[in-house]
A and B are shown apart, each in its own frame.
Chain A
């Protein structure tokens, strides 16, 4: 699926939630369920320091596609990370670089990706794009 198709799929899923409670319960479930990163890759080099929560991000190229794995010490942050990975992982670098990630706004989570939020997510998206830029230039 393309990035935009996955984004559409997520927006449709979130449309089913009637309250903030269900939405956050879902994010928390996502945060709990996914083994996001190999412990050997959860290193200081892969650490993106937010002011409040910490995020680890790892990227590699597999069969021409970018594969991201990540983790965080805060569970809601982790839930949002799993959405970002679902959208951006296993895509080619040029598409990752061009992704606008409009779904974040559409599912009402913009505030979590605001630069003032200090949870490390803004820096993580920036870092994902940096990886995409680097890999698209090394091909």
Chain B
């Protein structure tokens, strides 16, 4: 695979920022889009824009077909058994809220427990907090060690017959930790608990097989997967989804409506009320076709090289401390520079054309754990290069000189 060829697949990567060539290291927040995804979006609006699932006319048939092909592409991408287990949503946050609201309200009662971890994104904390408050249930937190790894012994002792669901991220967006979700799922199932995996940070970086993981729910966003914003996925096991009450009412999710009684549509439409993000779904399908072409062998090798080089580079700079030193770690690197506010460093790097993220990354409990105001985070995708890392190094040195 030619890296220069890959670079040209992403038109935005060749732009300049503040007059300098862009160094894009904020892939944990969102990834850039390959030309074929951008073309798919244009193609939809110029060639066959129409509403899906109902129209008898040609364009509606065409749009419906493309949307459903995308669903199948996504199904195969994560190894789901059926395409109706793939529910389109506006994103990871919406997918989690759907489960917390629909499954949660029907299955969690007073004195039950919901288990999350100390390194969850706010999106995988707040919906469960709201559910627990409403039901009088308890939210319990699996602690982590100083390296940013979950303490599995503590997880084991927190699990009990009261645990109804464990909601855990596959990869931490702040620390880069790859959590042992397969083991977590097996342990939770032993106690009769379900598991929801927040895959927002994992799907673009490693192959996922929801069947071999045995995940009950697996959720992710399209825009972190080289697809458009505003579209995401909820995967759920057929039997569980069938048992769940609908989440939102409206068009597309019904079988028949009278003022006395409404019967609901079958999966996946039961959870897809209203006109969906049609172009988003089609664009996401294209993005996955693109990833399939690149292949995870290449992605994993490239990102592991970037992670190792960036780690080594950061360790060589005085006063830099990497936050999150898990043994199993993805290409997401948070760091702090002793004596400097992350926002100041980020502001200088931005002037140099380097896009990194600063702040708490929607994980305030992690900042409290390390007692820091925020971190500077560089998160890589397979299109990043060793040259990007050299530029980051030069940028950090400039920032240190200017701010000292």
Give the Cβ gap from A22 to chain B, nearest Cβ, in Å.
11
Contacts of B351 in A (CB 8 A): 20-21, 24
Contacts of A28 in B (CB 8 A): 344, 402-403
A20-B351, A24-B351, A52-B374 in contact; A73/B359 too (CB < 8 A)? Answer: no
Q: How far is the CA of A55 from the CA of B18 in the complex (A)?
A: 27
B contact set with A: CB distance below 8 Å = 18, 341-344, 347-348, 351, 358-360, 373-374, 402-403
Beyond known contacts A51-B360, A54-B373: 8 more, CB 8 A cutoff: A24-B347, A28-B402, A52-B342, A52-B373, A75-B344, A75-B403, A76-B343, A119-B343
**A-B pairs with beta carbons under 8 Å apart, 17 shown:** A20-B351, A21-B402, A24-B347, A28-B344, A28-B403, A51-B359, A51-B360, A52-B342, A52-B343, A52-B360, A52-B374, A53-B343, A73-B373, A74-B343, A75-B341, A76-B343, A119-B343
Q: How far is the CA of A88 from the CA of B254 in the complex (A)?
A: 60
Give the Cβ gap from B391 to chain A, nearest Cβ, in Å.
16
Contacts of A76 in B (CB 8 A): 343-344, 347
Give the Cβ gap from A42 to chain B, nearest Cβ, in Å.
15
Q: How far is the CA of A139 from the CA of B386 in the complex (A)?
A: 63
| Contact indicator per residue, chain A 40-52, by CB within 8 Å of chain B (1) or not (0) | 0000000000011
Is there an interface contact between A25 and B402, defined as CB atoms closer than 8 Å?
yes
Is there an interface contact between A52 and B402, defined as CB atoms closer than 8 Å?
no
Give the Cβ gap from A14 to chain B, nearest Cβ, in Å.
15
Instruction: Count how many pairs of residues, one from A and one from B, have CB atoms less than 8 Å apart in the complex.
Output: 40
The reply to whether the CB of A127 lies closer than 8 angstroms to some CB of chain B is no
Contacts of A77 in B (CB 8 A): 343-344
Contacts of B341 in A (CB 8 A): 53, 73-75
Is there an interface contact between B358 and A24, defined as CB atoms closer than 8 Å?
no
Is there an interface contact between A20 and B18, defined as CB atoms closer than 8 Å?
yes
The reply to whether the CB of A118 lies closer than 8 angstroms to some CB of chain B is yes
Give the Cβ gap from A82 to chain B, nearest Cβ, in Å.
15
Give the Cβ gap from B371 to chain A, nearest Cβ, in Å.
14
| Contact indicator per residue, chain A 6-23, by CB within 8 Å of chain B (1) or not (0) | 000000000000001100
Is there an interface contact between A24 and B348, defined as CB atoms closer than 8 Å?
yes
Contacts of B348 in A (CB 8 A): 24
Q: How far is the CA of A75 from the CA of B348 in the complex (A)?
A: 11
A112 to chain B: closest residue by CB: B347
Contacts of A74 in B (CB 8 A): 341, 343-344
Contacts of A21 in B (CB 8 A): 351, 402
A contact set with B: CB distance below 8 Å = 20-21, 24-25, 28, 51-54, 73-77, 118-119
Give the Cβ gap from B398 to chain A, nearest Cβ, in Å.
8
Q: How far is the CA of A40 from the CA of B378 in the complex (A)?
A: 38
B373 to chain A: closest residue by CB: A73
Give the Cβ gap from B376 to chain A, nearest Cβ, in Å.
11
Identify which of A28, A74, A75 gathers the most chain B CB atoms within 10 Å of its CB: A74
Q: How far is the CA of A137 from the CA of B263 in the complex (A)?
A: 61
Q: How far is the CA of A75 from the CA of B374 in the complex (A)?
A: 15
Q: How far is the CA of A76 from the CA of B402 in the complex (A)?
A: 11
Contacts of B360 in A (CB 8 A): 51-52
Give the Cβ gap from A104 to chain B, nearest Cβ, in Å.
15
Q: Which 6 A-B pairs have the closest CB atoms?
A: A74-B341, A74-B343, A52-B359, A52-B343, A53-B343, A20-B351
Give the Cβ gap from B275 to chain A, nearest Cβ, in Å.
29
Give the Cβ gap from A73 to chain B, nearest Cβ, in Å.
6
B352 to chain A: closest residue by CB: A20
Q: How far is the CA of A131 from the CA of B341 in the complex (A)?
A: 28
Contacts of B18 in A (CB 8 A): 20
Give the Cβ gap from A49 to chain B, nearest Cβ, in Å.
11
B398 to chain A: closest residue by CB: A21
Is there an interface contact between B347 and A52, defined as CB atoms closer than 8 Å?
no
Contacts of A118 in B (CB 8 A): 359
B374 to chain A: closest residue by CB: A52
Q: How far is the CA of A28 from the CA of B404 in the complex (A)?
A: 9
Q: How far is the CA of A31 from the CA of B358 in the complex (A)?
A: 20
Q: How far is the CA of A61 from the CA of B343 in the complex (A)?
A: 32
Identify which of A25, A51, A52, A73 gathers the most chain B CB atoms within 10 Å of its CB: A52
Contacts of A51 in B (CB 8 A): 359-360
Give the Cβ gap from B174 to chain A, nearest Cβ, in Å.
14
